Amino acid sequence: MLGGRWEDRQHSPVAYRRSRREWKGNLLGRALAPAIRCNFFNPFRHRTRSSANADRRRCRAWKALDLTKFVTRLGTGFDVHAFTEGDHVWLGGVKIPADRGVLAHSDGDVAFHALTDALLGAIADGDIGTHFPPSDEKWRGAASDQFLAHACELVRARGGKIDHLDVTVLAEAPRIGQHREAIRARIAEVAGVPIASVSIKATTTEKLGFVGRAEGFAAQAAATVRLPEPGPSGIGVTAGRTED
């Protein structure tokens, strides 16, 4: 074959360069010069340092991929408390001045309580009364942010991710419009999610029922979470293999 033996070009880069010079010295070599210049016939062209580095980067990127298969679950929660004498209420971890207080075993934060139940419902792990029984004096007057934080920890302990938290407050008073962003920020902080993943809304009952008579207020919540897809044994599945 022109330009030296194929075995030399296949196994020796030096021999290949020598054979390339010989090819250029004849008519066929001149005809193939453009292809030779672009390295088309070089059997070693895939062994360059840049291509090897690119292969290593692709390998690292593949290993870094989260291949866990998730299922989306939705949990809902509801909480209500009556008003009593006082000068403030707690809502979403924010102290709001009011002409009355809340009758409750803990601090009576209906937003945190509803969200806690929503998260527990999404992972099918009882309700807030199961984890924090009102008969236990330990929780008398307790701040409700620890209830929500506990529910979030349970979600993550199962390998889950919290996608969205949504709360609707039902009350004639107090008005929460000016406190909305502070409530969103506090819920996001306790739950460990971006503030964009928290929604707070409020409405009245058009003077109907106990809320309409200003005897109390309530909150309903929805929590969207992703949990590892259970395999036949109930254990999460990752990229076709079972994980503990």
| 222 — pLDDT class (breaks 50, 70, 90) | very high
127 is in an annotated binding site: yes
Segment 60-76 shows an average pLDDT of 75
217 is in an annotated binding site: no
11 is in an annotated binding site: no
| Cα–Cα dist 46/172, whole Å | 72
| Cα–Cα dist 30/235, whole Å | 66
Q: Greatest CA span in the chain, whole angstroms?
A: 105
187 is in an annotated binding site: no
| Cα–Cα dist 177/112, whole Å | 18
pLDDT tens per residue across span 15-40:
555 565 555 556 565 666 665 555 55
Residue 88 confidence (pLDDT) above 80: yes
Give the CA distances from residue 140 to residues 107, 130, 135, in Å, rounded to whole numbers and listed in that order.
8, 15, 9
Lowest-confidence segment of 2-6, 80-84, 193-197 by average pLDDT = 2-6
Of 161, 157, 190, whose CA–CA distance to 73 is shortest? 161
70 is in an annotated binding site: no
| pTM over cut 0.85 | no
242 is in an annotated binding site: no
**Residue appearing with tokens 């989306």:** 72
107 is in an annotated binding site: no
Of 153, 27, 174, 149, whose CA–CA distance to 89 is shortest? 174
79 is in an annotated binding site: yes
Lowest-confidence segment of 2-6, 95-99, 165-169, 201-205 by average pLDDT = 2-6
The CATH T-level fold of domain 72-228 is 60s Ribosomal Protein L30; Chain: A; (3.30.1330)
172 is in an annotated binding site: no
- Domain positions in the chain: 72-228
